Structure 1
Amino acid sequence: MMKNIKKVSGLALIVALAVTSSCQQNAKKTSTAETADTSKKSKYLSQPLISEIYTADPSAHVFNGKIYIYPSHDIDAGIPENDNGDHFAMNDYHILSMDSINGKVNDHGVALSVKDIPWAGRQLWAPDAAFKNGTYYLYFPVKDKQDVFRIGVATAKDPAGPFKAEPKPIEGSYSIDPAVFTDADGSTYMYFGGIWGGQLQRWNNGKYDANGSKTDSQKENEPALTAKVAKLSKDMLTFDGAVKDVVILDQNGKPLLTKDHDRRFFEGAWMHKYNGKYYFTYSTGDTHFLASAIGDSPYGPFKYQGTFMNPVQGWTTHHSIIEVKGKWYIFYHDTQLSDKTHLRNVKVTELTHNADGTIALIEPMKK
């Protein structure tokens, strides 16, 4: 009887030791995985605001004391990557909100879908929003049924939507990336345009050339193509006057040239006002910087000030800048969640204006 007890006890001990060893090994694996994940997160200045869906191009605003974010909604449509951006095949918008910076982020669901825009064909790219006359306005670029980018507008009584699109695009609008700025006197302006897939280079004298350049003007030593600006009408649905160039000058007062890829405009315009000056900020595209230029009028001209954000992980970089309770913040995106250039995630970090009026450099990836 005692021998049997000893045998059982020995077997139990072996089992117990095996279980303990297995648990220790699993604990090591878990610990290693957690360390790797923590290490990856630590590379980035900020973390994604939302991970349930992919989002990009965040246009942020404060409405009714709450922060609303109007991003693109990235999806994987299975389209091969190319310089035209066909792999950015977004088909609806989700609006996000939060009560405070770093607060809980709410996804309000689909606010507008391409199928609900009468004139739209495909590719709902980076939008922006505005409020006036008791109405919220969502401005969006989308290719029409002839595959030409136009800018449309949709309206709602709630900043989170849903939005109802106007039956036609804004007359005189073209290209991508509308950014809407309302000045202290109540006047509202739209900045828009983007080269390469944004098609800005295919417009000359207000006409679209389907066989035009796929990149830029291809005139390396001439002034670069640049963003456009137009004043919006009082009803916020049309342009009030002519579309003008956003002229960006170097420190010698000369326009930036096409060959100056580190400084010239590519896409992703934004406007904010600080200490009475107008800050036109934008992406340099294929060199992946965010740059700033400062002027005395919403129409410019704007003097180039330098890079204020170094490249993010991923090909594209697109931002917005807002003031919240006396502090300034930049909303931007990268590809931390997916490592794929067309599946991005939005982020936020604090932005600082230097004493000389320039914007302090932001490093989105920690060294």
Structure 2
Amino acid sequence: MPEDTVKHIDFTELNKKAISKPLISHIYTADPSAHVFNGKIYIYPSHDIDAGEAFDDLGSHFAMEDYHVISMDSINSEAVDNGVALHVKDIPWAEKQLWAPDAHEKDGKYYLFFPAKAYDGIFRIGVAISASPTGPFTAQPEAIKGSFSIDPAVFKDDDGNYYMYFGGLWGGQLQRWRSESFNPDEPKNPTAFIPKDNEPALLPLVAKLTDDLLEFSESPKQLEILDAAGNLLLAGDIGRRFFEASWMHKYNGNYYFSYSTGDTHLICYAIGDNPYGPFTFQGILLEPVVGWTSHHSICEVENKWYLFYHDSSLSNGVTHLRSVKLAEITYNVDGTIVPLKPYTD
């Protein structure tokens, strides 16, 4: 939402109109990845702090240093902050910026997947392991080989295979990998190497994980997002094209890939028939929230489906101080999702 618009918002009134309240309010949290493990809800967000960094399109002001895990006994119960689960100082290869994570479980172990900027200034994706869904997590000494960019989301399919979806534009550096190797950041322009408006948009990546969930078992593949005519979405189609915040879930046998459009502040989704796509664009899932970013997850809890998301209403619109929320989503008979408005009229 534009800064000039935020300045004129009455946040007392806005919060009355919000369809959901922050799950916790003693710290700022964002980018929630929600899962149900052993009948309990666990949310893996990023932890927003005010580090005094300059606001820029590289995301320098998103200077997160650690992760907390939020747990809930049920969808209506109090959310509990379980404290620091992993800190950047305990990740050998990472220098800074612990951005949006995800987590999953296998054989009684819990795996935290996270992006961080390495000492060479390049975003990589790492893995940390714990015996508990709330941590503490112990990071692997190196990032995943062949990983790059941000926003890992790990999906477990019905056959037991795990897939990671990832990628993000601008500060997420995806555009700097168009040649399959990192293009030097000169000039330091977050939109350098972005395709022209009439060219196909940059695409998110997907890779199956190894059995131990610690590496890619294959080279990452592009995940195609198509329009109704079967054409790739164009870079200039900023109301529909992928920007960041990949998420995958499955409903009635179909695969739903959802994502953020970034600078147009929408959560959109597309549907396919397998984990690799292609996926056909369907529409908007969540309309813009207060705050520049939009990032989400979708989780089934006791036969109902919920969208976990964030906004900046608690911080009166401060872009990098966000709060995690949730709201129920519903499906139409044809499998499309009923769009959500974050605030009532």
When the two structures are superposed, what TM-score results if normalisation uses the length of structure 2? 0.94
Is 1:162 the equivalent of 2:162?
no
Paired residue type of 1:52? H
Q: Is the 8 A contact 2:11 2:313 kept in 1?
A: no
Q: 2:102 aligns with which of 94, 110, 128?
A: 128
Q: Is the 8 A contact 2:195 2:202 kept in 1?
A: no
1:190 is matched with which residue?
A: 164
Q: 2:174 aligns with which of 171, 180, 200?
A: 200
Is 1:77 the equivalent of 2:51?
yes
2:190 is matched with which residue?
A: 214
- Matches of 2:184 and 2:236, distance apart in 1: 23
- Matches of 2:157 and 2:77, distance apart in 1: 28
SS at match of 1:100: coil
- Matches of 1:124 and 1:324, distance apart in 2: 27
Q: Is the 8 A contact 1:277 1:294 kept in 2?
A: yes
Residue range with higher mean Cα deviation, 350-359 or 136-145: 350-359
SS at match of 1:208: coil
Q: Is the 8 A contact 1:72 1:93 kept in 2?
A: yes
2:118 is matched with which residue?
A: 144
- Matches of 1:204 and 1:221, distance apart in 2: 17
Task: Render the CA deviation track for 1:38-97: whole Å, top value 9, x for unaligned.
Answer: 634212111000000000000000011100000000000011211000000000001000
1:17 is matched with which residue?
A: none
Paired residue type of 1:82? D
Is 1:92 the equivalent of 2:100?
no
Is 1:295 the equivalent of 2:269?
no
1:356 is matched with which residue?
A: 334
Higher relative contact order (CA 8 A, sep 6+): 2
Task: Render the CA deviation track for 1:122-174: whole Å, top value 9, x for unaligned.
Answer: 10000000101221000000000011000000000000000000000000100
Map residues 102-121 of structure 1 onto 2, 5 A cutoff. Answer: 102-121=76-95
- Matches of 1:37 and 1:172, distance apart in 2: 44
In the alignment, structure 1 segments of 5+ residues that lack a partner are 1-35
Is 1:324 the equivalent of 2:298?
no
Task: Render the CA deviation track for 1:314-366: whole Å, top value 9, x for unaligned.
Answer: 10000000100010000000001102000000000001111111110100021
Is 1:257 the equivalent of 2:234?
yes
1:3 is matched with which residue?
A: none
- Matches of 2:133 and 2:73, distance apart in 1: 14
Q: Is the 8 A contact 2:14 2:343 kept in 1?
A: no
Q: Is the 8 A contact 2:151 2:167 kept in 1?
A: yes
Deviation, structure 1 residue 226? 1.0
Map residues 220-299 of structure 1 onto 2, 5 A cutoff. Answer: 220-299=197-276
1:22 is matched with which residue?
A: none
Map residues 338-357 of structure 1 onto 2, 5 A cutoff. Answer: 338=315, 339-357=317-335
SS at match of 2:215: coil
SS at match of 2:54: coil
1:12 is matched with which residue?
A: none
When the two structures are superposed, what TM-score results if normalisation uses the length of structure 1? 0.89
SS at match of 1:207: coil
Deviation, structure 1 residue 37? 7.9
Q: Is the 8 A contact 1:334 1:345 kept in 2?
A: yes
Q: Is the 8 A contact 1:122 1:147 kept in 2?
A: no
- Matches of 1:300 and 1:41, distance apart in 2: 38
- Matches of 2:139 and 2:308, distance apart in 1: 26
- Matches of 2:164 and 2:195, distance apart in 1: 26
- Matches of 2:185 and 2:292, distance apart in 1: 25
- Matches of 1:204 and 1:327, distance apart in 2: 39
- Matches of 2:11 and 2:118, distance apart in 1: 42
Give the number of equivalent residue pairs.
Answer: 332
**RMSD of equivalent CA atoms:** 1.2
Deviation, structure 1 residue 214? 1.7
- Structure whose CA Rg is larger: 1
- Matches of 2:291 and 2:14, distance apart in 1: 15
Paired residue type of 2:232? P
Runs of 4+ in structure 1 over 2 Å off: 36-41
- Identical columns (%): 61
